[in-house]
Amino acid sequence: MPSSAIPTNQQPQTPNFARKPATSPAQRVLSAQRAAEMSREGRMYGMAERTGGSPIVIVGGGVAGGNAAATLREEGFAGPVVIIGQEPGVPFGRPPLSKTYLRSEEDLAGWYVRPADWYAKHDVDLRRGPSAAALDPAAHTVILGSGEELRYHKVLIATGGRNRRLKIPGASLPGVHYLRTLADCDAIKREAAPNRRAVVVGMGFIGCEVAASLTQLGVRVTAVFPGRAPLERVLGGEIGALIGAIHRANGVELLAGDQVAAFAGAERLEAVVTAAGQRIACDFAVVGAGIDPDVPAVRGSSIAQDNGILADELCRTSAADVYVAGDVANHLHPLFGRIRVEHFNNAEKQGAAAARSMLGSAAPYDYIHSFWSDQYEHKIEYVGHAATWDEFVVRGSLDEGKLVGFYLRDGFVTAAVGLDRGGDPELDHDGEMAASARLVASRARPAGGLLTDEHADLWSLALGA
């Protein structure tokens, strides 16, 4: 789930930073309750945008699409709203698919963007199953796979990403799995019995989390990945080495610096063959090789694209009345420049921001990006954005594996990572990771040594920036 940056000539500005509201699943339900209160108070549907009868159409019923619909209603939009979602079920968050749901520790209800009956109660036409085959911006229509043409007033593209598939011998053998959807996850669950052998291909976030969960389920896991350490590209060598040590300590065999050259087997997967010539016998494999933005086809005029659909600070694309949010959006961030983010918090907040933009808000989308990853009992939290950095300094202890690490460029704090320390920047509002988000937002350049000095208060450093 790494994010990638495209350089921009635009001069970054310091965005307005407000500490973000809590967004745990329970609190998201509270938000729905608040919507119900607003409805009773008569505030809901108070504002009617003139739509000429055509709906606001949301293509993609994931976290971004679901939050856009919820925000339209909570902001008082009274017109018709349609979600075209090709997956069955209601919009939900995917994080448990590599963690708690995969391990059968929770169902998905707590991860629904809104409770299942919310859509009908709020006149949101949630169409599950159909896919949008194409968009025609000039005609203001979405063409469904069935051929039906749906005219829109405004449209949000929230189609997310699709897994990069390996094109190597044996790639279509039964037993080779990818993970994005609930169906993908259920298929992996059926394989994950104690003492079975799995190969995890790639040790980015999905690979790491799946390796951890399978290990916790008693599966014997071998991980094959390029580079020296898991997550090294996103988090750097120091944190990568710690994550690698955590996996090894839990029994995962790590084959670093190698890649899968073929899947072998007669009827189904029996072994993974690596480029270095290793043959790893296994019962199944899970590939986590990253995603590509899932850009729908466009007819007539075009929509500007470059590693996803390009958006400005208001989530607008190059086509009139076409907006974009979530994993598919390559947006212009006031602080980070062009950036496409593949994380839950962005999908949630950008979906909402795009909805507000559709309703006429002129507030730029300036969220200080953050994400988390859970592996075994360990928690990784990250704020900001650092595709590259020239210094990495640590508050806490690399040896003990409890730390907040800061990514610096020319002395400026551009990102921070918390490993088992610092709290959730979205929930622990007084914590070190929340303070780190403030440091990033304020373009802080603390004097040497202060970031690593346990006695120096991070909030003071941020506020003094």
Ligand X SMILES: Cc1cc2nc3c(=O)[nH]c(=O)nc-3n(C[C@H](O)[C@H](O)[C@H](O)COP(=O)(O)OP(=O)(O)OC[C@H]3O[C@@H](n4cnc5c(N)ncnc54)[C@H](O)[C@@H]3O)c2cc1C
Considering the complex, what minimum distance in angstroms separates the CB of residue 381 from ligand X?
Answer: 10
Strand, coil or helix: 460 = helix
Among the listed residues 251, 242, 239, 206, the one whose alpha carbon sits nearest the alpha carbon of residue 225: 206
Give the binding-site size for ligand X (rule: CB under 6 A): 37
Q: Which of 61, 202, 293, 418 binds ligand X (CB under 6 A)?
A: 61
Considering the complex, what minimum distance in angstroms separates the CB of residue 145 from ligand X?
Answer: 8
Nearer to ligand X by Cβ, of 296 and 334: the residue is 296
Nearer to ligand X by Cβ, of 44 and 211: the residue is 211
Q: What values do phi and psi take at 370, rounded to 5?
A: -150, 155
Angle at 158 between CA 155 and CA 23, to 5 degrees: 115
Segment 140 to 159, residues that bind ligand X, using CB under 6 A: 158-159
Rounded Cα–Cα distance for residues 2 and 341 (Å): 7
Q: Which stretch binds ligand X (CB under 6 A): 85-93, 148-156, 261-269, 436-444?
A: 85-93
Q: Which of 44, 97, 254, 332 binds ligand X (CB under 6 A)?
A: 97
Considering the complex, what minimum distance in angstroms separates the CB of residue 201 from ligand X?
Answer: 15
Q: Is 84 in the site for ligand X (CB under 6 A)?
A: yes
Segment 424 to 453, residues that bind ligand X, using CB under 6 A: none
Q: 316, 357 in Cβ contact below 8 A?
A: yes
Rounded Cα–Cα distance for residues 385 and 383 (Å): 7
Q: Which DSSP helix (H) or strand (E) runs through 441?
A: helix 432-441
Nearer to ligand X by Cβ, of 323 and 393: the residue is 323
Segment 189 to 208, residues that bind ligand X, using CB under 6 A: 206
Tokens matching residue 447: 């004097």
Helix, strand, coil % in the chain, rounded to nearest 5: 25, 30, 50
Nearer to ligand X by Cβ, of 354 and 393: the residue is 354
Considering the complex, what minimum distance in angstroms separates the CB of residue 464 from ligand X?
Answer: 30
Considering the complex, what minimum distance in angstroms separates the CB of residue 264 from ligand X?
Answer: 26
Nearer to ligand X by Cβ, of 330 and 345: the residue is 345
What spatial distance separates the first Cα and last Cα of the chain, rounded to whole Å? Answer: 31
Nearer to ligand X by Cβ, of 170 and 204: the residue is 204
Segment 314 to 373, residues that bind ligand X, using CB under 6 A: 326-327, 342-345, 347, 371-373
Nearer to ligand X by Cβ, of 206 and 393: the residue is 206
What's the one-letter identity of residue 203?
A: M
Q: Is 87 in the site for ligand X (CB under 6 A)?
A: yes
Q: 233, 224 in Cβ contact below 8 A?
A: no
Rounded Cα–Cα distance for residues 221 and 252 (Å): 5
Considering the complex, what minimum distance in angstroms separates the CB of residue 38 from ligand X?
Answer: 24
Considering the complex, what minimum distance in angstroms separates the CB of residue 61 from ligand X?
Answer: 5
Nearer to ligand X by Cβ, of 315 and 408: the residue is 315
**Parallel, antiparallel, or unpaired: how do β-strands 279-281 and 271-274 relate?**
antiparallel
Q: Is 81 in the site for ligand X (CB under 6 A)?
A: no
Tokens matching residue 86: 């090709």
Nearer to ligand X by Cβ, of 137 and 170: the residue is 137
Q: 406, 437 in Cβ contact below 8 A?
A: no
Longest dimension (CA), the chain: 68
Considering the complex, what minimum distance in angstroms separates the CB of residue 274 from ligand X?
Answer: 24
Considering the complex, what minimum distance in angstroms separates the CB of residue 449 from ligand X?
Answer: 32
Give the position of tokens 């084959």: 255
Angle at 284 between CA 88 and CA 245, to 5 degrees: 105
Q: In what order do the strands lie in the sheet with 337-340?
A: 4-6, 337-340, 329-333, 309-311
Considering the complex, what minimum distance in angstroms separates the CB of residue 134 from ligand X?
Answer: 8
Q: Which of 73, 94, 154, 316 binds ligand X (CB under 6 A)?
A: 94
Q: 203, 210 in Cβ contact below 8 A?
A: no
Rounded Cα–Cα distance for residues 395 and 132 (Å): 48
Segment 266 to 305, residues that bind ligand X, using CB under 6 A: 294, 296
Q: Which of 20, 43, 164, 180 binds ligand X (CB under 6 A)?
A: 180
Q: 408, 392 in Cβ contact below 8 A?
A: yes
Q: Which residues bind ligand X (CB under 6 A)?
A: 1, 59-65, 84-87, 94-95, 97-98, 131-132, 158-161, 179-180, 206, 294, 296, 326-327, 342-345, 347, 371-373
